[in-house]
Copies of this chain bind each other. A is one copy, B any other.
Amino acid sequence: MSEESSLLKGSTSMNDTMVEEVEERDPESNPLNEPLLKRNRTLSSNPLALVGAKVSYIESLDYEINENDLFKQDWRSRSRAQVLQYIFWKWSLAFLVGLLTGIIATLINLSVENIAGYKLLAVVNFIQNERYLTGFLYFTGANFILTFVASILCVCFAPTAAGPGIPEIKAYLNGVDTPNMYGATTLFVKIIGSIGAVSAGLDLGKEGPLVHIGSCIASILGQGGPDNYRIKWRWLRYFNNDRDRRDLITCGASSGVCAAFRAPVGGVLFSLEEVATWWRSALLWRTFFSTAVVVVVLRATIELCHKGKCGLFGEGGLIMFDVSDVSVTYNVMDVIPVVIIGVLGGVLGSLYNYLLHKVLRLYNLINQKGKIYKLLLSLSVAMVTSICQYCLPFLAKCTPCDSSLSEVCPTNGRSGNFKQFNCPNGYYNDLATLLLTTNDDAVRNIFSTNTPLEYQPSSILIFFALYCILGLITFGIAVPSGLFLPIILMGSGYGRLLGILMRSYTNIDQGLFAVLGAASLMAGSMRMTVSLCVIFLELTNNLLLLPITMIVLLIAKTVGDSFNPSIYDIILHLKGLPFMDANPEPWMRNLTVGELVDVKPAVISFKGVEKVANIVNALKNTTHNGFPVMDCGVVPTIGVASEATELHGIILRAHLIQVLKKKWFLKEKRRTEDWEVREKFTWVELAEREGNIEDVAVTKEEMEMFVDLHPLTNTTPFTVLESMSVAKALVLFRQVGLRHMLVVPKYQASGVSPVIGILTRQDLLAYNILTVFPHLTKSKRK
């Protein structure tokens, strides 16, 4: 107790010693717990995070309904027709999100299949004519150019388009505004960059980018168009708020997953399990609608493209592994290989997370040096990939074709399961089958069933080793990249290898082993269960696989969880995004919000009718986004004329800036009437977040005038008593989706302020609290 009180004696002095103490530590001592950014070690620090490649100020979103007079007025005035209009547009937007995501996904697939297809056809031609060097130069040259296009776009125009985008979307849906994530430029770069990067044969997928693309489409549609060309339709104003945008982006993310895997239910569940923080039944059902539309679009385009009408685009590269005709037979003893795969997946998945984290930290150092370094990094990775893909197959021995199989062997076309490569007729090169093809085809080939002798163990081993290295070095480069495909490739590698080793022991098909390996590594790295299971169910179209898939996923996740958090959580932490976890830490029960408030600077509050000068000063000198509004007076309910302070509510910085901009000033100190504020402000304007206090010019005369803050104040803020534990406050904050939480005193007396502090997202993050209350770390370890 004495230790604690001495710690809390003065917040400034303590913070100084804290900073010193922290900097003495070896920054690499516990790298998983240290984000890339160095921050001030006080609860009142400015929140910063990496978005794209840039360090940005991070703000919270207003998911809470701001119930001020204007809102209530607007709400009451909505007619039944307007409500119906809102519902109609809500569904139309969900429809459009699905439609556009489906179309863009088809376009990407079409481009990738054609670009990569013609590239591979040319290379195969060169090889058939034994012009190996020309083939090599053509292959690497084409991949160089494609990577260059993808990378230069990302580096110069939209740094936020690099990577999968899923962690940022996850943070956004948790309530963190991630700037520049959902613009038209980002969307454009993501589409083109994704086509380039995937066609270049890099070890990355289009799945993550598609999730981001879906979210971009949703966000742009919701605000009526790209930032500078927004349609200002009347009905759109209803969607110009963080809540509706959140719902739309959830639909977009689901549509993206659905488009990537043609897995409508899997897409919905992916959003539910991995991406979204809040969820309600109504949203489940709207998201489902979006994914249904995507599936219909995909089906329709495949029908349209039937029989070579769309160049080399065939089945759309979507269903990667349809095993609905394969009879799956397994008995109780097959549980042993299944358990082995699960454990391996968990161990390798967490190892992958650990190593990838290291690589990303290293890449971050390189990327920080400048744009040219970013570009060079991407191009070197592309070169390494191309060289390996082209040269390694020469190491493999040629295998004679098995005439008992009905498939064509050897094949020389763009796809096919038995690539001839450098082999004589009647023979095929099994490593070329896996490497010199698109990633989608590689997955299809390694998943192939009823071909137990197709691959030599050495070839699979080379394949696995190569994709382990590529999977680690590719993800962090400046191109749009998804994590699903690299993990599937790695996982299928060791899965199939295990299948070959266990051939004599079990009669589970090797293709199924590969599938299970992929599933286990995904569960071991991404730690999803139900959604992964459904995605695999929809990919394989075979329900009999479900029980063993479930067991593999459960084991892999459990094993992985005992080592480190999921890859997305690691990236979130690395980027410094203030993500709020569902479960409070145990030590949070021993800390009250009152103690948190004590180490923060005193709260700045306004009177109901406040002087302009005070407002301007407060806005200029602080970065707070919310200010309590209080009135002094006499309590009407009790007879005695006692001096009382009334908490009227909380007002947002954005609204104060609007007031200053519009110069809604009063000469005398008085309360305004309803119509006065309605004349000046509309609800639509208040929904805008733009505006900076530096842009506002207030004359000296105006400084002495007054503003009536009452009509703009949110009169229904969520409050907690100072004795509330941080654990419960966190649950409230997250569940209700707050931005500001007012702390009120547990005492009722004259002279006590009705608000003793405001807590925000940053104040409730375990990491931030522990830097101020380091003694809690000990109790945590106990």
Residues of A within 8 A of B (CB): 65, 67, 72, 75-76, 80, 264-265, 268-269, 272-273, 279-282, 284-285, 288-289, 292, 295-296, 299-300, 303, 324, 331-332, 529-530, 533-534, 537-538, 541-543, 546-547, 550-551, 554, 557, 582-583, 586, 589-590, 592, 635, 637-638, 640, 642-649, 715-721, 723-725, 727-728, 731-732, 735-736, 744-754, 782
Q: CB < 8 Å: which of B265, B295, B748 contacts A754?
A: B748
* Bound Cα distance A719, B719 (Å): 7
- Please name 18 further chain A to chain B contacts, defined as beta carbons within 8 Å, in addition to the given A264-B550, A748-B749, sorted by A numbering: A65-B727, A67-B728, A75-B586, A76-B590, A264-B546, A273-B281, A285-B529, A285-B557, A288-B533, A288-B554, A538-B546, A635-B752, A637-B747, A645-B749, A648-B723, A718-B732, A719-B719, A744-B744
9 residue pairs A–B, Cβ–Cβ below 8 Å: A67-B725, A265-B265, A265-B537, A303-B331, A635-B751, A637-B752, A642-B750, A645-B748, A721-B744
Copies assembled: 2
Tell me the smallest distance from the CB of A257 to a CB of chain B, in Å: 14
Chain B residues with Cβ under 8 A from A281's Cβ? 273, 582
Residues of B within 8 A of A546 (CB): 264-265, 295, 538
Contact of A719 among B264, B331, B720, B750 (CB under 8 A): B720
Residue of B282, B554, B649 near A583 (CB, 8 A) is B282
Assess the A589–B264 pair: CB atoms within 8 A.
no
User: Smallest CB–CB gap between A725 and chain B, Å?
Assistant: 5
Complex CA–CA separation, A303 to B717 (angstroms): 60
- Shortest Cβ distance from residue A5 to the other chain B in the assembled complex, whole angstroms: 13
Residues in B whose Cβ lies below 8 Å from that of A272:
272, 284
Q: Which residues on the B side are within 8 Å of A295 (C-beta)?
A: 546-547, 550
CB neighbours (8 Å) of A745 from chain B are 748
Contact B554 A289 (CB under 8 A): yes
Q: Which of A65, A292, A735 has the most chain B CB within a 10 Å cutoff?
A: A292
The answer to whether B646 and A748 touch across the interface, beta carbons within 8 angstroms, is yes
Enumerate the 7 nearest inter-chain pairs by beta-carbon distance, A residue then B residue, closest first: A644-B749, A748-B754, A735-B735, A292-B550, A541-B543, A750-B750, A645-B748
Flag if B724 contacts A547 (CB, 8 Å). no
Min CB distance, A139 to chain B, in Å?
36
Q: How far is the CA of A412 from the CA of B643 in the complex (A)?
A: 92
- A547 near B292 with CB under 8 A, answer yes
User: Which residue of chain B lies nearest to A285 when distances are taken between CB atoms in the complex?
Assistant: B529
Closest to A292 in B: B550
Question: Which of A296, A530, A589, A725 has the most chain B CB atoms closer than 10 A to its own CB?
Answer: A530
Chain B residue contacts of A583, Cβ below 8 A: 280, 282
Q: Is the CB of B529 within 8 A of A284?
A: yes
Are B728 and A718 neighbours in the complex by a CB distance under 8 Å? yes
Q: Distance (Å) between the CB of A280 and the closest chain B CB?
A: 5
Which residues of the partner chain B approach A646 to less than 8 Å between Cβ atoms?
746-748
Q: A530 contacts B279, CB within 8 Å?
A: no
Contact call A640/B751, Cβ cutoff below 8 A: yes
A745 and chain B: residue at smallest CB distance: B748
Determine the distance from Cα of A736 to Cα of B738 in the docked complex, in whole angstroms. Answer: 13
Which residues from chain B contact A586 at a C-beta distance below 8 Å?
A: 75
A723 and B644 within 8 A (CB):
no
